[in-house]
Structure 1
Amino acid sequence: MRNVDYIIVGDGYAGLFFAHQLIKNNKSFVMYSEGKKSASQVSAGIINPVVLKKFTTFWKAQEQIDFLKETLDEIKLYTDKDFLINAPIHRIFHDENEQQLWLKKSGNTELSGFLDKNFIHIDVVKNDFLTGKVNQSARLDVNGFFMGLLSYFEKNDHLIKEKFDYRQLDPSGSTYKDIHFKNVIFCEGMGVKDNPYFSHIEVNPNKGHHIKVKLSEPIPENRTIKKKHFLFPTGNGLYFYGGTYDRDQLHHHIDQSAVDQLINGLSEFYPYDFEIAEVHFGFRPTVKDRRPIIGRHNAFGNLYVFNGLGARGILNGCYFSRDLYRFIEEEIPLHTEVSLNRFSNKP
């Protein structure tokens, strides 16, 4: 019988950032990974403290940005890799009204550190009304992050590459197969709907598509360009463009309407020829109030859920992994805004 402090089920942002908290605090763990690409692994990796449709920010944005940078520095100590890409977002303005709104909002205390007042013109793309830079924005090297951490886990005997079998979990005896555990953390994204212990939680799928394109005229590499969607280079001569949001078309194949939406969006500001090389999609686990769902099972005190990260999976996954760890190990209460207990239909 193997003894561990934690079993983590799921290998997306929630699972990996929680695993980092365990490494940081010298806790033993195993992670169950099916080996399928999760929504996290096909995400853009955008680190953005601003809602770019309305030029607003969100709850704990500065704290989350600061904590993410601190966490990535800690991860660098044992992976020897820096996964932060310094390529700030430049939002293309549609008209002068958007310019003026940006300037007005940049005077707000909560936004002054994010909205740069100096507008610039970017060559190659159409930006007649210039672009505004989002200070403190960046990107995560998504492929590098998952490859680097999962490789580290595998080398250190933390990774189990198989589907978790709920039928073999005995919460009362704190055992799963030949493993004796203290706690299980379910970080399954939309897979939670098949989890008999947490299938009730109110997460809903939001399907997102993105395309990888070959551009006939390259764009600057040190920027992430945003109009309707995000455009940035990914290496090997390809560029990421996306992603879409769809709560209705939830089948597990490519939607041509989403691809057409991306083609039209890119064509609006990129006036040269481009070729689609790849199309990808995933299902983000979203919550109606746009806050993660974190908490302990009502009947089994050694089972926990960490889900509902939504479109800000990197920031939410990183920041709230610490809150979950402190809740379990130090009995520090969770914020009511993210606690599982805010929903009435608990198990």
Structure 2
Amino acid sequence: MRNVDYIIVGDGYAGLFFAHQLIKNNKSFVIFSEGRKSASQISAGIINPVVLKKFTTFWKAQEQIDFLKNTLEEIESYTGENYLVEKSIHRIFHDENEQKLWLKKSENEDLSGFLTKNFESLNGVKNDFLSGKVSQSARLNVNGFFAGLFKYFEKNDLLVKEKFEYEKLNPSESSYRDFTFKNIVFCEGMGVKENPYFSEVAVIPNKGHHIKVKLSEAVPDITIKKKHFLFPVGNGLHFYGGTYDREQLHHHIDESAVKQLVNGLSEFYSHDFEVEEVHFGFRPTVKDRRPIIGRHESLKNLYVFNGMGARGILNGCYFSKNLYDFIENDIPLHEEVSADRFK
């Protein structure tokens, strides 16, 4: 039998950022990864403190941005790499009204640190009404982040590359096959619906598509946003996405989503481009746009960490500490993220 403090089930942002809290606090653990690409692993990796449709911000945005930057520095101490890509988002305005709204919102105390007042013209794309830059926005090098952490897990014998089998879990004896554990944390995204211990968790699947395109003419090396995000990902390709769909939830590519992306890109990129790849995943979203974190009602060594939504990086990073402090130090969860709010 191998004895560990924690078993983590799930290998998206929630699972990996929680694993970081354990590494930081010298806790022993294993993380179960099926090896399928999670929604996190195909995500854009956008780090953005502003809702770019209405130019508003969200709960704890500044704290989450600061915490993430600090956490990525801590992760660099053992992977040898910082996965933060310091390329700002530039939002192309649709019309003069959007310019005025942006300037008006930039006077708000909670947005003044994020919305710059100097508008810019971007080369290579159609931006008749210029663009606004989002300060403190960035991207995560998604492939590097997952590859770097998985490599660290493998090197330290922390990675179990197989599907977790619920029927082999014995919570009353704190055992799973040849492991004994103190706590188990389920970070499964939409996979939680198959979990007999937490299947009632109120997450709603939101299907997102993105495309990787080859552009015929260069664009600036930044993150450009109009309807969706465009940025370079290496190998001469650009990421463009992603869509949001709560209706078409089948497990294959939806051509209408691809068409939506092609039309969205054509709106501001008037040169030829080739669609080289199409990807999709299912974000676990929650009605009130807050994560769902909690302990099983009767099995006190089972926990859930889910509902990261479209802000998986910021939510997964920031609330991993909240969950760790709840389990280890009995510090209550924020009421707004506690699973108890649905009771």
Separation in structure 2 between the aligned mates of residue 50 and residue 220 of structure 1, nearest angstrom: 21
User: Is 1:121 aligned with 2:121?
Assistant: yes
Secondary structure of the structure 1 residue equivalent to 2:173: coil
Counterpart position of 2:323: 324
Separation in structure 2 between the aligned mates of residue 20 and residue 342 of structure 1, nearest angstrom: 27
Counterpart position of 1:95: 95
Separation in structure 1 between the aligned mates of residue 76 and residue 188 of structure 2, nearest angstrom: 25
Counterpart position of 2:4: 4
Counterpart position of 2:279: 280
Q: Which amino acid aligns with 2:255?
A: Q
Secondary structure of the structure 2 residue equivalent to 1:324: helix
Unaligned runs of 5+ in 2: none
Counterpart position of 2:289: 290
Secondary structure of the structure 2 residue equivalent to 1:172: helix
Counterpart position of 1:52: 52
Separation in structure 1 between the aligned mates of residue 318 and residue 182 of structure 2, nearest angstrom: 23
Q: For residues 70-219 of structure 1, what are the structure 2 equivalents within 5 Å? A: 70-219=70-219
Separation in structure 1 between the aligned mates of residue 285 and residue 184 of structure 2, nearest angstrom: 22
Separation in structure 1 between the aligned mates of residue 220 and residue 142 of structure 2, nearest angstrom: 20
RMSD: 0.4
Q: Which amino acid aligns with 2:238?
A: Y
Note the C-alpha offset of 1:218.
1.5
Q: Which amino acid aligns with 1:317?
A: G
Secondary structure of the structure 1 residue equivalent to 2:283: strand
Counterpart position of 1:249: 248
Q: Which amino acid aligns with 2:74?
A: E
Secondary structure of the structure 2 residue equivalent to 1:205: strand
Secondary structure of the structure 2 residue equivalent to 1:8: strand
Counterpart position of 2:220: 220
TM-superposition CA deviations, 1:130-150 (whole Å, max 9, x none): 000000000000000000001
Q: Which amino acid aligns with 1:252?
A: H
Secondary structure of the structure 2 residue equivalent to 1:132: strand
Unaligned runs of 5+ in 1: none
Q: For residues 297-316 of structure 1, what are the structure 2 equivalents within 5 Å? A: 297-316=296-315
Q: Which amino acid aligns with 1:324?
A: L
Separation in structure 1 between the aligned mates of residue 254 and residue 175 of structure 2, nearest angstrom: 42
Separation in structure 1 between the aligned mates of residue 41 and residue 206 of structure 2, nearest angstrom: 15
User: Is 1:43 aligned with 2:43?
Assistant: yes
Q: Which amino acid aligns with 1:309?
A: M
Separation in structure 2 between the aligned mates of residue 150 and residue 213 of structure 1, nearest angstrom: 27
Counterpart position of 2:28: 28
Note the C-alpha offset of 1:92.
0.1
Separation in structure 2 between the aligned mates of residue 270 and residue 227 of structure 1, nearest angstrom: 11
Separation in structure 2 between the aligned mates of residue 123 and residue 291 of structure 1, nearest angstrom: 37
Q: Which amino acid aligns with 1:121?
A: S
Note the C-alpha offset of 1:231.
0.1
Counterpart position of 2:237: 238
TM-superposition CA deviations, 1:43-83 (whole Å, max 9, x none): 00000000000000000000000000000000000000010
Secondary structure of the structure 2 residue equivalent to 1:23: helix
Separation in structure 1 between the aligned mates of residue 65 and residue 128 of structure 2, nearest angstrom: 31
Q: Which amino acid aligns with 2:33?
A: S
Counterpart position of 2:269: 270
Q: Which runs of 4+ in 1 moved over 6 A?
A: none
Note the C-alpha offset of 1:220.
1.3
Separation in structure 2 between the aligned mates of residue 158 and residue 97 of structure 1, nearest angstrom: 53
Separation in structure 2 between the aligned mates of residue 126 and residue 161 of structure 1, nearest angstrom: 46
Separation in structure 1 between the aligned mates of residue 220 and residue 155 of structure 2, nearest angstrom: 37
User: Is 1:18 aligned with 2:18?
Assistant: yes
Secondary structure of the structure 1 residue equivalent to 2:267: helix
Separation in structure 2 between the aligned mates of residue 218 and residue 241 of structure 1, nearest angstrom: 15
Counterpart position of 2:67: 67
Q: Percent identity?
A: 77
Structure 1-normalised TM-score?
Answer: 0.99
Note the C-alpha offset of 1:98.
0.5
Separation in structure 2 between the aligned mates of residue 217 and residue 137 of structure 1, nearest angstrom: 25
Separation in structure 1 between the aligned mates of residue 71 and residue 283 of structure 2, nearest angstrom: 23
Separation in structure 2 between the aligned mates of residue 75 and residue 224 of structure 1, nearest angstrom: 24
TM-superposition CA deviations, 1:117-172 (whole Å, max 9, x none): 01100000000110000000000000000000011001100000000000000000
